[in-house]
Amino acid sequence: MAEEATVEEKEESGVQLEGKMAEFAEWLEGISVLELSQLVKGLEDRLGVSAAAPMAMAAAPAGGGDAGGEVEAKTEFDVVLTAAGGQKIQVIKEIRALTSLGLKEAKELVDNAPKPVKEGVSQEEADEAKAKLEAAGATVEIK
């Protein structure tokens, strides 16, 4: 019965999906709202875009409680230098490359670890910074 309703709706709207698009639409109809939310967030990260919710949709969760807030993935991360390691000069060079700090400021940051190197960055940017700093010999955490 649900399939008949879908076919009727498609005919009424005048949009006919065929081939892979029809398969994709059927697949989307079969997944949960949570899975769809994760898909949207994954595509936003992968494609570097953001899906803006209409104002009516943005206001709706306020009356629904806090349960939705717990499910959302963290979008901003802090890269924290916990230890400089044995190659302090290489770490200072990487800090300068990742930030707009001068030599003195970068050295102070490394000397006073643990200190945040970057704050409020995307997961991808945080992972890249962590990889570069670890390659230079530092110990890094993403929070």
Confidence of residue 57 (pLDDT cuts 50, 70, 90): very low
Among 36, 71, 106, residue at a domain's last position: 71
pLDDT at position 31 is: 87
C-alpha 139 chain-centroid distance: 23
Q: Amino acid identity, residue 115? A: K
- Domain that includes residue 106, residue range: 77-142
CA distance 105 to 60: 45
Specify the pTM: 0.47
Are 15 and 65 members of one domain? yes
Q: Over range 116-121, report the average pLDDT.
A: 87
Contacts of 116 (CB under 8 A, 6+ apart): 78, 79, 80, 81
Are 119 and 84 members of one domain? yes
Asked whether the predicted pLDDT for residue 139 surpasses 70, the reply is yes
Question: Position of tokens 């230079």?
Answer: 136
pLDDT at position 46 is: 85
Peptide bond into 116 cis (omega under 30): no
Lowest mean pLDDT among 1-5, 83-87, 118-122: 1-5
Contacts of 39 (CB under 8 A, 6+ apart): 31
